[in-house]
Amino acid sequence: MFGTKNYKADVETNTKDVDFDKNTYQVEFTTTAGKIVLDLWPDVAPLHCRNIIGLVRSGFYNGIIFHRVIDGFVIQAGCPKGTGTGGPGYNVKAEFNKRLHEAGVLSMARTSDPNSAGSQFFLCLGRVPHLDNQYTGFGKTADDASLQAVLKIGKSKTNADDRPLQDQKIEKAEIKVTPK
């Protein structure tokens, strides 16, 4: 189920300075479809926010593809194998919350085990009520340009396995920190 490396120690090292009381954090993905900036929601999902910050700072998402694209539903990335079967070598405990799964929302993918999230995430392409309080939503696109990039990936032509015919990729991932 996992990739070849366990990133837990890297994530812990790369999040020692994270302070959600003093700073706001954004994930910035430079993708083949444009820049996607995501505001994180540590007030409802601090473990997931800390996890993605640590993975981004570890370089985990650089070069990763969106391996699953379902028009009108979600785009999914975060598998180091590019198949939907890999992860960071550890899991993150579910933090279900009352935030709605709507266009631009960042949420964690998982298996049928609620506590099986790791590195795979999805971004919603519209309102998806059956995901509410079943998956951990932990951020949202910061602006319309970011949402448009997400929607552009969502319009990719795919094969029968929902994989884009032309790779849609996260070329570079960074964390932006802003003092409160």
Residue 1: what pLDDT?
44
Place 2 in a pLDDT band, splitting at 50, 70 and 90. Answer: very low
Report how far residue 64's alpha carbon sits from residue 81's, in angstroms, rounded to the nearest whole number: 8
Evaluate if pTM is beyond 0.95: yes
The 10s digit of each residue's pLDDT in 121-141 is 999 999 999 999 999 999 999
The 10s digit of each residue's pLDDT in 53-91 is 999 999 999 999 999 999 999 999 999 999 999 999 999
For the segment 26-44, the average pLDDT, to the nearest whole number, is 98
Report how far residue 41's alpha carbon sits from residue 52's, in angstroms, rounded to the nearest whole number: 11
* SS3 at position 131: helix
Report how far residue 37's alpha carbon sits from residue 34's, in angstroms, rounded to the nearest whole number: 10
Name, in order, each residue with C-beta under 8 angstroms of 110's C-beta and a sequence gap of 6 or more: 94, 116, 117, 120, 135
Domain borders along the chain are 8-179
Q: For 24-53, give one letter per residue: b (16+ CB within 10 A) or e.
A: ebbbbbbbbbeebbbbbbbebbeebbbbbb
Tokens 């971004």, residue located:
123
Place 3 in a pLDDT band, splitting at 50, 70 and 90. Answer: very low
Report how far residue 136's alpha carbon sits from residue 40's, in angstroms, rounded to the nearest whole number: 12
Q: Is 25:18 a contact under the CB 8 Å cutoff?
A: yes
Please give the CATH number for the structural domain made up of 8-179: 2.40.100.10
How far apart, in Å, do the first and last CA atoms of the chain sit? 39
Beta bridge partners of 40: 139
The 10s digit of each residue's pLDDT in 92-101 is 999 999 999 9
